Amino acid sequence: MRKLCYNYIDKVIHKGGKNLYRITNKKHTFYRESGARKMGLMTFKGGVHPHDGKEFSKDKPIRELLPKGELVYPISQHIGAPASPVVAVGDTVLRGQKIAEAGGFVSSPIYSSVSGTVKAIQPRRGAVGDMVNSIIIENDGEMKEVEYHPVDDIDSLSKEEIINKVKEAGVVGMGGAGFPTHVKLSPKEPEKIDYIIANCAECEPYLTADYRRMIENPELLVEGMRIVLKLFDHAKGIFGVENNKPDAIAKLQELVKDEPRMEVCPLQTKYPQGGERQLIYATTHREINSTMLPADAGCIVDNVETLISIYNAVKLGKPVMNRIFTVTGDAVKEPGNFNICIGMSYAEILEAAGGFKTQPEKIISGGPMMGFAMFGLDIPTTKTSSSLLCLTKDDVAASETTACINCGRCVEACPERIVPSKLAKMSEHGDMASFEKWNGMECIECGSCSFICPAKRPLAQSIKTMKKQILAERRNKK
């Protein structure tokens, strides 16, 4: 009953410089060019269908939110070396002024999102629970900005200039991973990039920030894609959107209908459709594993918010200072989507959403599948914070863990086609050799196995723990 009829690309044929896709479903096999996937939805194998929950905030337009009080900027908001502060306590800063510069190539600078004075530079607690050195700015409420340098004609910029602008603006993967975007845009062999994939799946339940962006600013998204396509002459832009957002698909299709280098690819609504490897497979039928980068498969994947930040950085000359943020969940009085200044605390944003309707049991930074549970609200938002989810019932606390009965539901759900129940057992036994032999390192930590487990076992947690141990071991050996 779980295996419905969906289309899979099962072969790609290259003819006269064009890609011809062989697509199969249970009944038919047909060929089509990549430009016209109208017959059905593309997807990956595995995955789960958690409760959607997007109805809370999906119809709430984005509201601008002006910060009050102090803002906190952790110097590590991205993957890679932490940024190093370039301001001192007591300095006056303007909105858009650089307050920390990149600490290496794989790193990213940080900009103030308000005007005010630097109050302190001290460790503060982050959403993941650890203490991170942070720059604290007392907001003067005037929002005095630095002068930006917009570019009238993007065609006049060289590729290096574009990448440099992205790097200087502090653009990182804003879907949650926080990988510095300029690194992604500088692959070893740029001529081998065939696809730029815009991750518009937003497969995490409850989250609607990307959806609102696609509805309200689809042209910015397309412009961002246009800039990235300038960097890669042979590449094609694909917008992968889950089909639970038909209006977003329609808007994007309307905008790209005269764009020979862009197309919209509707995807089946299934978690984790927006996982990088799953998205690449669904849209291009290329597979990558944990030892490869998307660029190895000729793909670059960027999230909606990231592409819009690229547009802001290159065209308007504006660094990353704002992002769209969803406040949602059954405990929130007025769930909604907000354009926040990065650095605001979760508590302040929640206040703008009317506070709590009922006392929540659990508050989560991010979505329910991969987000981080927080024990308090006095925590700053960063470039990668996409939502605050407040749930009145904690499924994890409410369910009792029982013995694994080997039912195999986790195997069916795993998008990486590994065996979570076995790996979790190996993790509990500390059996690193077997764990690696059973491909445990391929886990993408999507949590589908823990979600589906009828015995309510924390499979993903065990696997994540073991992965961390093995990675630490490997580092020590080096």
Partner 1 sequence: MSDLYNVSSSPHVRAKDTTARIMLYVIIALLPASVFGIWNFGLRALILIAVCIATCVVSEWVFELLIHKKSTINDLSAVVTGLLLALNLPSGLPIWQAVLGSVFAIVIVKMMFGGLGQNFMNPALGARCFLLVSFAGTMTNFNCDAYTGATPLALIRNGESVDTMKMLIGTTAGTIGETSTIAILVGAIFLILMGVIDLTIPGTYIVSFVVFIALFGGHGLDGNYITAQLCGGGLMLGAFFMATDYVTSPITPMGKVVYGILLGILTGLFRTFGANAEGVSFAIILSNLLVPIIEKLTIPKAFGQKKEVKQHE
Closer to partner 1 by CB, 114 or 331: give it.
Answer: 331
Sheet holding 84-85, edge to edge: 84-85, 98-101, 110-111
Q: Measured from the CB of residue 404, what is the shortest distance to partner 1 in angstroms?
A: 5
Bridge partners of 301, per DSSP, are 197
Closer to partner 1 by CB, 298 or 336: give it.
Answer: 298
Q: How many residues does the structure list for the chain?
A: 478
Closer to partner 1 by CB, 291 or 476: give it.
Answer: 291
Q: Provide CB contacts within 8 A for 9, sequence distance 6+.
A: 21, 22, 23, 42, 284, 285
Q: Measured from the CB of residue 323, what is the shortest distance to partner 1 in angstroms?
A: 21
Select from 29, 28, 11 the least CA-distant residue to 20: 11
Q: Measured from the CB of residue 287, what is the shortest distance to partner 1 in angstroms?
A: 4
The answer to whether 175 and 386 have CB atoms below 8 angstroms apart is: yes
Residue 266, φ and ψ in degrees, nearest 5: -70, 135
Select from 319, 344, 322, 341 the least CA-distant residue to 170: 319
Closer to partner 1 by CB, 101 or 442: give it.
Answer: 442
Tokens for 254, please give them. Answer: 């309307």
Closer to partner 1 by CB, 127 or 166: give it.
Answer: 127
Q: Measured from the CB of residue 249, what is the shortest distance to partner 1 in angstroms?
A: 26
Q: Measured from the CB of residue 167, what is the shortest distance to partner 1 in angstroms?
A: 28
Question: What number of CA atoms fall less than 13 Å from residue 403's CA on the CB side?
Answer: 1
Closer to partner 1 by CB, 249 or 460: give it.
Answer: 460
Q: Measured from the CB of residue 402, what is the shortest distance to partner 1 in angstroms?
A: 5
Q: Measured from the CB of residue 65, what is the shortest distance to partner 1 in angstroms?
A: 23
Q: Measured from the CB of residue 407, what is the shortest distance to partner 1 in angstroms?
A: 4
Select from 337, 341, 434, 351 the least CA-distant residue to 387: 337
Closer to partner 1 by CB, 103 or 458: give it.
Answer: 458
Closer to partner 1 by CB, 341 or 369: give it.
Answer: 369
The DSSP bridge pattern shows strands 98-101 and 84-85 to be: antiparallel
Q: Measured from the CB of residue 394, what is the shortest distance to partner 1 in angstroms?
A: 5
